[in-house]
Structure 1
């Protein structure tokens, strides 16, 4: 077979889990491994577009959707629990088959609980949520997460140790699982000193229907804008949105160098406060305005924390207006917050038998 094959599987819940796997896949290639990508839906499509030369495999879908009202999210997830459990069992059976079919040497699973193998001693779980916020049920959601983390030999947290970190209590609880390794922030983007092309870049992402709800709100707010604005919708299909404003440019998606150039060439970023987005903007040292997904405590916590640290302003989705963007300049913007360890140093885990 030649190079050792490592299965890299990303959760299809928005595109953040897939995009933060990109630098890991690149490192695996640089270190002589042969990554095999696995996911479903838009996340798999993104990884196939980034790495058309790699083997890929389809995994069963969790079909995670948000409720239209924030108050309904917890109930919707509870309703979907039987399906989620069946999906975990199914993806675990598929993974065990892939170990034999592809002669895998190791597994890296970004938040897919069932992508691990009892036949291997090289199973890695990636998460920034060692503490899972879910309101009054945070204890239970954290307990479930920890039970699954314990089934993997290592748990990689994409952040740095110490107080000067990006994830706060999510990735730095008082009590750590014994298999945790802090691998530094993950981003496929690099800061480039380029001229400003856009005043605002609106970066949409996340599960439906909340992605579309925010898109509608923002398109209405920006329909008559005279500021150079780029909308990146975060959808991987050919459907287009028609408008007549010459200052407003709409793209369904951007990948690789195109996205990197657009972000570097934008003065301000408007986006959800998902953790992968925070990692990307920190690497690019960008000023941002966050609109957390309603009913998602993790994003609400991260947005509030960025404001509290003086790094970025935020607004609740229903309260957003373009007038609030004037607050962006009152904050210093995101930054690297120190030196990250080298990802490659953690890949030695896959050496030997």
Structure 2
């Protein structure tokens, strides 16, 4: 079976959560054409080598800003983003025809579909969270996805169908999209459970684009001395970046997959941004932690509030963070016990593909 797999390039989270599905497709002997660009393309070439073919994708305009106005910027940029989607779709239709593609899978790339073939859209935001001054448009943001209802065979949500799951109103309690077109398969995480001693008391994971990453790092470093025990700080920087030295703290500029898996498995408590991929990783490994949303990223801010209300994970705004106090509060929260984990989620997705295409290989 020939599969065209498109990946959003706004960060690495879309790639990491899709990796378990992509590995399964490759392991089963399917021909995988990866359609993406920028950092995900570089990382996937290292991951799969010559086992896959790679096509550089059309890039959507980036809504990330220096002043934390992500929600406003993405709203204003919609005409440019839609133009990129249309260009992308024209390119994908040609690829689908020229490469004789059997199915198309997209993680958050709206133009990666072919109405004449099974097309699956992996997404956890069937409804966007607009900036506060546009909050009256909350339900209307679902209509943007509703517009694509006839483009994709199924909307695939990496979340659970029960009690609002981990995403709440981002992908549940829908107003327009037919529930029959939505399949909740469960979390997708690239982390592997390992039988290791939990000897890291605090694992601090910094991520995201500059300058927000550096701003967060400075706030953490200013307070990190209050933490007792074995503390590890992963900076999310290139490996050859200038080293940061902090007394009694192990500082790692960049952790590749092997080291990243080991550190997360060893961690008793995690401090990180509230990106959805990070949340799924924590749930996959049964970790408790403190979430700090990126200022201005409305999705992260909503997830932090929602998960705190559910008593799964405590969160705090970056400007108000007090590590000593906030960690003690966060330790009283329950975490989230998933009804199943990534291995079963991938099975559910593969079963859906098999059912849709009638077992075609």
Q: Does TM-score exceed 0.5, indicating one fold?
A: yes
* Alpha carbons of structure 1 residues 45 and 212: separation in structure 2 relative to 1, 3 Å: farther
The CA distance in 2 between the partners of 1:206 and 1:148, in whole Å, is 29
Partner of 1:144: 144
The CA distance in 2 between the partners of 1:243 and 1:174, in whole Å, is 46
The answer (yes or no) to whether the contact 1:284–1:335 under 8 Å persists in 2 is no
| Stretch moving more, 289-298 or 343-352 | 343-352
Aligned residues: 347
Give 5+ residue unaligned stretches, structure 2: none
Partner of 2:58: 60
CA drift of 1:269 comes to 0.9
The answer (yes or no) to whether the contact 2:226–2:323 under 8 Å persists in 1 is no
Mapping 1:251-262, distance limit 5 Å: 251-262=252-263
CA deviation map 1:308-328 (0-9, x unaligned): 222221110111132222223
Of 325, 330, 334, which aligns to 2:336?
Answer: 334
The answer (yes or no) to whether the contact 1:50–1:256 under 8 Å persists in 2 is no
The CA distance in 1 between the partners of 2:146 and 2:254, in whole Å, is 34
The CA distance in 1 between the partners of 2:62 and 2:42, in whole Å, is 17
| Stretch moving more, 89-98 or 336-345 | 336-345
* Alpha carbons of structure 1 residues 263 and 47: separation in structure 2 relative to 1, 3 Å: same
Of 45, 48, 52, which aligns to 2:45?
Answer: 48
The CA distance in 1 between the partners of 2:284 and 2:71, in whole Å, is 32
Mapping 1:74-89, distance limit 5 Å: 74-89=71-86
Partner of 2:351: 345
The CA distance in 1 between the partners of 2:221 and 2:92, in whole Å, is 41
* Alpha carbons of structure 1 residues 253 and 308: separation in structure 2 relative to 1, 3 Å: same
Mapping 1:183-332, distance limit 5 Å: 183-222=185-224, 227-235=229-237, 237-323=238-324, 324-332=326-334
The answer (yes or no) to whether the contact 1:6–1:107 under 8 Å persists in 2 is yes
Q: Is structure 2 residue 17 aligned with structure 1 residue 20?
A: yes
SS of 2:331's partner is: helix
The CA distance in 1 between the partners of 2:91 and 2:218, in whole Å, is 38
The CA distance in 1 between the partners of 2:23 and 2:122, in whole Å, is 16
The CA distance in 2 between the partners of 1:207 and 1:147, in whole Å, is 30
| Stretch moving more, 224-233 or 18-27 | 224-233
Q: Is structure 2 residue 118 aligned with structure 1 residue 129?
A: no
The answer (yes or no) to whether the contact 2:108–2:123 under 8 Å persists in 1 is yes
RMSD (Å), alpha carbons: 2.4
The answer (yes or no) to whether the contact 2:60–2:81 under 8 Å persists in 1 is yes
The answer (yes or no) to whether the contact 2:5–2:34 under 8 Å persists in 1 is yes
* Alpha carbons of structure 1 residues 207 and 87: separation in structure 2 relative to 1, 3 Å: farther
The answer (yes or no) to whether the contact 1:150–1:179 under 8 Å persists in 2 is no
CA drift of 1:149 comes to 4.1
SS of 2:186's partner is: coil
| Stretch moving more, 261-270 or 148-157 | 148-157
